[in-house]
Amino acid sequence: MRPVILIAIMLLLDCLCPAQQPDVRVQLWTLFQLSQIELQPVGNMNFAWQGGSSHQDTPLAIRAHGDTVEISGHTAAKLAVSGDFRMTAEQAPAQHVRTKVEISAQNGALHVIASLPVEDYVAAVLQGETGGNMPIEALKALAVSIRSYTSRFRERHKDDNFDFCDTTHCQFLRLEVQPAVSAAVQATAGELLWDRGTPLAAYYHKDCGGQTEAAATVWPDQKAEALISHEDNYCVHVTQPWHSEFAQADLERVLSRAGLRVPTGWNRIAVSERTPSGRARTLQFGIGNSAGVPISASSFRFAVGRTLGWNILKSDWYDVTVRAGRFIFNGRGVGHGVGLCQTGAAEMARQGKPYREILAFYYPTTLTGRSAQGIPWIVTRNDVFELRIVNSSDSTIAHPAIRSALDWARQQTGLGLSQLPVIEVYPTVSMFRDATGEPGWISASTRRERIRVQPIGVLRERFPGVLRHEFLHILVESNAKVSTPLWFREGLVVYLGGDPAPANEVHMTPTEIERVIASRSSQADLRRAYTQAAALVRNLERKHGRGKLMEWLRSGLPDKI
């Protein structure tokens, strides 16, 4: 089989395969060092390990021994559990699991990783972050934010063999989901926030205090027009100020555990620098009126959270005073303040604002959709085609390759186009995948006169062959009569790309070929069906000539065929 035909057939197979997002791998009980857990079946509970499997209908203990897992006298490097069951452990919250988990061990500690479908993960995070206690439109808005954040930061813990942890370092979650949360996720299923063709880093927080923070202020590498600081008139009317007091001894312990060095005998904390939104950026720890030592306000807040609890110093927006040896923080807001404010979003929903209006308020300049939006195309057009690229350097390669491929396809078919074809060359595989819904291993996607192609640098020498195949599809489909059979159209595309040598004989009827294609059978069956369709077209050409094939494409196959 010639390479171009292999490409053609594989592309035909690719286009029939629906794109599915892989499950999100989440580490459960991240903050706990557990050497033993108990699994209690609620429904079916099945185990599998290398060399064995088991069905269990009674509670079962799993223990860590070094880097291995022990279960019922068996030891294994990894244990897979599926079904409907509860996991319990001392000093850790119980987990009711209705999915697959992998359990492994390292240095005597168990590691539990759950595989959740994307929408189930979004629901679990929405439940964890809100408790379901928000109006439905606010829940919808936050569901889109969570889904976008998930898409943008997936594989955050790739080096640890999972995507996200279950703490606020990633996104906090609860596996038991309330009906209102499920309804919000289902109503927005697949929707993402898009920033110039890329899923937005859609940060969110509890309460902005009336003014959101710019992402670039908190994370310098996350500068985005959609994540700027702006006034929040919805939150400002309902936000509640907070007040916290600390003994100096407690703060000494906080600073010591975090490795934050301050002057011996310090007795003063002052906010020496603020962000444009008014939040503390730098603190000075000093003695009396001395200049003191600067400490990052965010580092100080995280140090307090890790040592004394996360609900004590609730944000970086505060003033500090000292009274009777105690340090008093009077502040407002909860969290980092970037992106969607849950307090403000809930108020907008109570005022009747729909979720997309809430998203537009907190993430200005973004677009919502299930496929990539707002791609910054550079568009050039001539009398033959329209080219859309993002990287201008692609133009010098794409223009001659497109013209050559289209000329070749026209010569092969003798057909013309009534509309100008549009070719979109994507700059990254992820953007191609997000825009087309196809998995990353598919080279191109064609709908009507629109060809969407993976990056030239990824396709390399395959780029011209991919274009030729896609132009054959456009020419055949745009000139075909509605009643022209699928087997003939698809066989014509494959055959015109070259000679499918393996199909010297035809063993399938047109009806069988179409049944296999329509049923999305196995890859081997599909390959055989396309090859057989091409062989049928080859035999027709040998008997009647290529001109007659093109005539039948436009007018329909005669009954005798």
Higher pLDDT, 56 or 145: 145
365 and 217 within one domain: yes
- What does R_g of the chain's alpha carbons equal in angstroms? 30
187 and 41 within one domain: no
Q: How much is the average pLDDT of 445-472? A: 94
Domain-embedded: residue 15:
no
pTM of the model: 0.83
What DSSP designation does 312 have?
T
455 and 387 within one domain: yes
Instruction: Quote the CA–CA distance of 94 and 392 in Å, as a whole number.
Output: 54
Is the pLDDT score of 53 beyond 60?
A: yes
> For position 520, what pLDDT does the model report?
66
Long-range contacts of 15-18 (CB under 8 A, 24+ apart): 15/438, 15/442, 15/445, 15/446, 16/517, 16/520, 16/526, 17/439, 17/442, 17/520
Task: Using alpha carbons only, give the angle 428, 409, 448 rounded to the nearest 5 degrees.
Answer: 60
Instruction: Quote the CA–CA distance of 394 and 226 in Å, as a whole number.
Output: 28
> For position 129, what pLDDT does the model report?
96
Instruction: Quote the CA–CA distance of 515 and 325 in Å, as a whole number.
Output: 83
Is the pLDDT score of 13 beyond 70?
A: no
Is the pLDDT score of 519 beyond 90?
A: no
126 and 231 within one domain: yes
| Tokens 């039948």 sit on residue | 552
Q: How distant, in Å, are the alpha carbons of 68, 205, 289, 436 from that of 465?
A: 50, 49, 74, 20
Domain-embedded: residue 212:
yes
Domain count, the chain: 5
Domain-embedded: residue 16:
no
Instruction: Quote the CA–CA distance of 341 and 453 in Å, as a whole number.
Output: 38
Asked whether the beta carbons of 467 and 496 are under 8 A apart, the reply is no
Domain-embedded: residue 543:
yes
Domain-embedded: residue 561:
no
Three-state SS for 382? coil
Among the candidates 479, 510, 544, a domain finishes at 479
473 and 409 within one domain: yes
232 and 126 within one domain: yes
515 and 406 within one domain: no
Q: How distant, in Å, are the alpha carbons of 1, 407, 449, 482 from that of 500?
A: 6, 22, 26, 26
Q: How much is the average pLDDT of 234-250? A: 96
351 and 207 within one domain: yes
Q: How much is the average pLDDT of 370-380? A: 94
Q: How distant, in Å, are the alpha carbons of 121, 195, 389, 483 from that of 198?
A: 20, 5, 15, 40
Return the bridge partners of 245, or none: 328
Three-state SS for 42? strand
Asked whether the beta carbons of 140 and 123 are under 8 A apart, the reply is no
Domain-embedded: residue 7:
no
The count of other CB atoms within 10 Å of the CB of residue 8 is 29
Return the bridge partners of 28, or none: 112
> For position 440, what pLDDT does the model report?
76
Domain-embedded: residue 289:
yes
Task: Using alpha carbons only, give the angle 490, 453, 534 rounded to the nearest 5 degrees.
Answer: 15
Among the candidates 116, 144, 174, a domain finishes at 116
Contacts of 338 (CB under 8 A, 6+ apart): 203, 204, 205, 212, 213, 214, 215, 218, 227
Q: How much is the average pLDDT of 113-139? A: 97
Asked whether the beta carbons of 111 and 166 are under 8 A apart, the reply is no
252 and 227 within one domain: no
Q: How much is the average pLDDT of 344-364? A: 98
Q: How much is the average pLDDT of 520-525? A: 74
Domain-embedded: residue 560:
no
Token pair for 497: 């790309």
Instruction: Quote the CA–CA distance of 553 and 561 in Å, as a whole number.
Output: 12
> For position 503, what pLDDT does the model report?
54
Domain with residue 462: its CATH number is 3.40.30.160
Q: How much is the average pLDDT of 320-344? A: 96
Asked whether the beta carbons of 215 and 227 are under 8 A apart, the reply is yes
Q: Is 258 left (phi over 0), alpha (psi -120 to 50) or beta?
A: alpha
User: How many Å from the N-terminal Cα to the C-terminal Cα in the chain?
Assistant: 27
Give the closest residue to 128 by CA, choosing from 206, 202, 219.
Answer: 206
Give the closest residue to 342 by CA, choosing from 84, 112, 561, 143.
Answer: 143
Range of the domain at 282: 242-331
Instruction: Quote the CA–CA distance of 284 and 293 in Å, as a whole number.
Output: 5
pLDDT digits (tens, 9 = 90+) for 483-513: 999 999 999 998 988 744 445 677 888 899 9
Contacts of 228 (CB under 8 A, 6+ apart): 212, 214, 215, 364
pLDDT digits (tens, 9 = 90+) for 284-322: 999 988 888 999 999 999 999 999 998 899 999 999 999
Q: Is 14 left (phi over 0), alpha (psi -120 to 50) or beta?
A: alpha
What DSSP designation does 260 have?
-
- The proportion of the chain whose per-residue pLDDT surpasses 90, expressed as a percent, equals 76
232 and 139 within one domain: yes
Among the candidates 84, 116, 148, a domain finishes at 116
305 and 166 within one domain: no
Confidence of residue 525 (pLDDT cuts 50, 70, 90): confident
Q: How much is the average pLDDT of 203-226? A: 95
Per DSSP (E only), the strands in 180-248 are 192-195, 198-199, 204-205, 242-247
pLDDT digits (tens, 9 = 90+) for 14-23: 443 334 578 9
546 and 408 within one domain: no
Three-state SS for 233? helix
Instruction: Quote the CA–CA distance of 192 and 147 in Å, as a whole number.
Output: 6
Asked whether the beta carbons of 318 and 330 are under 8 A apart, the reply is yes
Instruction: Quote the CA–CA distance of 19 and 91 in Å, as a whole number.
Output: 41
Confidence of residue 8 (pLDDT cuts 50, 70, 90): very low
> For position 16, what pLDDT does the model report?
37
